[in-house]
Structure 1
Amino acid sequence: MTNYSSSDFEQDNEFQKALAQYEEMKAGNRSIYFDADQLADFAEYYASLQQYDKAFEVIEYALSIHPGNTEVLVIKAHINIDLKNIQEAKVIAYSIPESYDRDVKMLKAELLILEEKLGEAEEILMELINQEENDNVDNLLDIAYLYTDSNLPQLALPWFEKAYKMNPENDEIRIGLVDSYRDCGMIDKGVALYNRLLDIDPYSAKYWYELGRLYFTTEDINKALDAYEFVLTINSANHSAILMMAHCYFKLENYEKSCEYYEKYATMVNNSSTAYFYIGFCQYNLKQYDKSIENLKSSLELSEGVSPEIVDTYTYLAFCYKEKGMFDDALLYIERAIKEDPNNAELYVHKGDILLNGDHKEEAAKAFNTAILMAPDDPRTNIDIGRIYCENKMYDIGLTYYKNVELNAPGFDDIYLSMAFAYGAMGNNEQFTDYLIKATKQDHDKVMDSLKLMPEKEQEELKQLIRDLKKAIDEDEGKAEFN
């Protein structure tokens, strides 16, 4: 909606002075005249803070002293778009007399995009750019962002390319263009652009960082690490690159290195609840449960219980306490996670797991049933519950959940392998062999890989059995093909 974030307004001293005068006037302490541009900015600022009542109050006041003002009406329409009042925004947009105005055309194009009338929107935008006074980089970027905000990167790309041709030295355009290449699956073009820039300026930490970001978002983690290493070679105190190094090692499940970089980042950026969350997360994976609890609690304290990671923080605290055998504490934290995200079926699976491990079988069954009712079409829920029962040596109950998956989603993930091991643990050799054959037909390599955690003697025996099964399966398939 807006061209500015709240921080942009807050850094503008003139704006802040005028806003204070407006608020003083509204308090009834004095009478001051404000022009329409100032009042439109006040409304936009309040909207950026999601204080919509105040925004509409400013707009009504503005229209009372500047009736029909185009800028104020455009802001009013944009706020209605933010609030999903699309029809109201449309009525406002098409009531503005100055239909030739640049902002009015952009508003109408946005509404058409929201209605998926992309051809009509493009016509308005081309008409806008064909006006000489509007043929500039800023307008090209605004149009590109109009499409990216609507998750239409393929339509944004041509506008970023036009802007880049007009001003190839602009970093905002370069980053927008590369992001658009990425979102359109044209990764090579994005990499080629940054490599050209690095040929010109090989010591640019910014270009190396952005190249790393591109590799990271496309899951090419080792190349991302190389790029961030160059950033840190140029500037060892670049805390953003240190954080991304931590994220990269986390993606690679190298939790020791990841933790090392998160800890380094935490010393550079004071009171980062996110850093302490990830430190705790890494330590959980390293089975350092006491340290994990300490850092996850630090994350909670720093965020004052409000952060994007709050549910995961509570969940991993619960996991830590479960691993320590402190089931009451584990239950306390999983309940807090559920309170934050009550419609998350996975959390009820975790609750059931904690209760079952704490020997509360009936309560565990209730939690599992809640999870099933919340996600009746998700085979993963049944597999997870079956696995938990099997881990607790309750194979007959675990198999009932596995059978639900076999019935409703045959071949899903490693269901046949899970069933084979459950039957094997129960001593049912016939069913064990039947399901091991199914699993081997489905994914021989995965079956072989699953044996690594077994004792060496059993591992070798089963590997030989699977090799024999695979050979027999291949021979049968060869005969069927020949016939």
Structure 2
Amino acid sequence: MQLPSNEHNNFPLTRFESMLKTNNVLFFDSEEFEEIIQHYLENGKIALAKKATKLGLEQHPTSTNLKLFQVEMYIFEDKLDVADQLLDELYLLEPSNEEIYIQKANIFSRRDLHTDAIKLLEAALEITEDASDVLSLIGMEYLFLEDFENAKYFFMKCVEEDEQDYSALYNIIYCFEYLEQYEAAIDYLNDFLNKNPYCEVAWHQVGKQYYTLKDYNKALAAFDFAIISDDRFIGAYLEKGKVLEKLSKYSEAIESYTITLGLDDPTSFALLRIGKCYEKLGETELALQFYSKCVEEDALLDKGWIAITDYYLKNKNYKKALYFIEKALNIDSENVLYWKRYAKINTRLNLFEEAEHGYRRTLELGNYELESWLQRADILIHLGEYEACVKNLFQATEFYPENAEIEFRLAGLYYYLADDRKAEYHLKNALSFNDEFVMIIEELFPTVFVRNSVKEIIKKHKKPSI
């Protein structure tokens, strides 16, 4: 009788996982353990990688490579002192092992000692056979130091070693962008494209630089080349759509965004932009359909809910606008942009208590724009909540001292509260800061404005017109 083939069990990973399930101890050579551990690390299965490292060292206690994996586990668990000590022991055994330098540099980096990390990586560079990885690590350390020129230099050296290292290429462009060297970025990318004319990533980045420089026609050409290089490159279609919007070519932008929907799962960004384009074209029903699809795809994308709400706001359909902003708030009650619109819509609907609540939540969530303080103040005045309004305005003065709009309101409030001394103090302050806002007294506190004593103070302090 022929026995079933056991060939698949010879694969180290399969055998290892079978061993874990059965508790039978199987033997693996050290290279097989390294392969297994690397697989788990690349797939984010840290617990299994740790277990494989432990079992590997039990079978091969002198393996330097397995001990280096153990160092990696210690660093991941933030056991830096233990990792450091083990590296020192390994260094005495293998002083020319580049990975020891790299992991030691990793520990320095974790401790924010980036200059020391760079020195070790430069030492590793002298002995490594894979310069591109070490050059990339040096570049990252310079990024941590915010030394973008040196970071850029080392990432460029990395790309010279390996032109397929798109991660390094992205980092080079990041440095150019941070330094606002957009033309230099284009020159670098054009040189790169002379050697790699069908690199969709480089064309995509060229397009983004031209987009930043507002040279939309050149940006469009670059994104078209990216698509020619890879007709399934979703990022290029999305960026092309953005450019077409800037050129007011909304129908073409819709086409570009729509292609992405067929290439992969729909993105909320594409659905939102299609809705915006339809709205610009006056196709309101289609715009609303895509806004709805956008929030169905990603209910946490505030731009989707805001687009629907703002559409109804613009069309003065405040009840519909309120309906959608309340739905948004049920999903994310900590969103300042939602509360600002909630307050604004309720003001339009003359629901002043709800509007005041909206502005109060806006302020509580850290949105300290002057408008938020003043709008809340005006609603509190309307509601007759004068003491609360005074408190609100004094809080505003912490962020906006010597502000005439605040001081005129405080003056009017103190007159209403029959504290003429404080009222006059704030009225004089307001007039000295900017007397053009005196109409605030007239509009918000009409009974105060007609007082002779108030008129005298205004007349005395009003700057003569030139």
Under TM normalisation by the shorter chain, which class is it? 0.5 to 0.7
How many positions carry a matched residue from both structures? 401
Match of 1:103 among 96, 99, 102: 99
Sort the Cα spacing of 1:400 and 1:230 in 2 relative to 1 into closer, same or farther, 3 A.
farther
Sort the Cα spacing of 1:385 and 1:201 in 2 relative to 1 into closer, same or farther, 3 A.
same
* 1:324-375 deviation line (CA, Å, top 9, x unaligned): 422234312222133xxx4x44443344344444554323323432332231
Amino acid at match of 2:105: A
Distance 1:419 1:92 in 2: 62
Three-state SS of the structure 2 residue aligned to 1:130 is helix
Amino acid at match of 2:240: M
Identify the residue that residue 246 of structure 1 maps to in structure 2: 241
Sort the Cα spacing of 1:81 and 1:299 in 2 relative to 1 into closer, same or farther, 3 A.
farther
Identify the residue that residue 151 of structure 2 maps to in structure 1: 156
Three-state SS of the structure 1 residue aligned to 2:332 is helix
Q: Does the 8 Å CA contact 1:353/1:364 hold for their aligned counterparts?
A: yes
Match of 2:58 among 55, 60, 64: 64
Amino acid at match of 2:221: E
Amino acid at match of 2:102: M
Identify the residue that residue 215 of structure 2 maps to in structure 1: 223
Distance 2:66 2:274 in 1: 48
CA positional deviation for 1:244? 0.7
Match of 2:398 among 383, 390, 408: 408
Identify the residue that residue 117 of structure 2 maps to in structure 1: 121
Indicate yes or no: 2:84 matched with 1:93.
yes
Identify the residue that residue 256 of structure 1 maps to in structure 2: 250
Identify the residue that residue 371 of structure 2 maps to in structure 1: 383
RMSD: 5.0
- Give 1:15-414 correspondences, 5 Å limit: 18-28=12-22, 31-67=25-61, 69-78=63-72, 81=75, 85-86=77-78, 88-96=79-87, 97-99=89-91, 100=95, 101-131=97-127, 133-134=128-129, 136-148=131-143, 153-163=148-158, 176-197=171-192, 207-216=202-211, 219-220=212-213, 222-223=214-215, 225-232=217-224, 235=227, 237=231, 239-249=234-244, 252=246, 254=248, 256=250, 259-261=253-255, 263-274=257-268, 275-282=270-277, 290-302=285-297, 310-320=301-311, 324=317, 325-326=319-320, 327-338=322-333, 342=334, 344-375=335-366, 378-380=367-369, 382-384=370-372, 386=374, 407-410=397-400
Larger Cα Rg: Structure 1 or Structure 2? Answer: 2
Gapped runs of 5+ residues in structure 1?
1-13, 421-429, 439-471, 476-483
Distance 2:365 2:176 in 1: 38
Sort the Cα spacing of 1:310 and 1:181 in 2 relative to 1 into closer, same or farther, 3 A.
closer
Distance 2:277 2:373 in 1: 25
Amino acid at match of 1:209: H
Gapped runs of 5+ residues in structure 2?
1-7, 409-427, 438-463
TM-score, L = length of structure 1: 0.64
Distance 1:212 1:126 in 2: 34
CA positional deviation for 1:60? 3.3
Identify the residue that residue 415 of structure 2 maps to in structure 1: none
Three-state SS of the structure 2 residue aligned to 1:94 is helix
* 1:259-305 deviation line (CA, Å, top 9, x unaligned): 525533335424322321332355567786643442233234446x5
CA positional deviation for 1:229? 1.9
Three-state SS of the structure 1 residue aligned to 2:18 is helix
Q: Does the 8 Å CA contact 2:30/2:60 hold for their aligned counterparts?
A: yes
Distance 1:270 1:166 in 2: 33
Sort the Cα spacing of 1:48 and 1:206 in 2 relative to 1 into closer, same or farther, 3 A.
closer
Distance 2:49 2:262 in 1: 38
Distance 1:127 1:164 in 2: 20
Distance 1:404 1:258 in 2: 52
Q: Does the 8 Å CA contact 1:161/1:177 hold for their aligned counterparts?
A: yes
Sort the Cα spacing of 1:166 and 1:406 in 2 relative to 1 into closer, same or farther, 3 A.
same
Amino acid at match of 1:383: E
CA positional deviation for 1:395? 12
Q: Does the 8 Å CA contact 1:248/1:258 hold for their aligned counterparts?
A: no
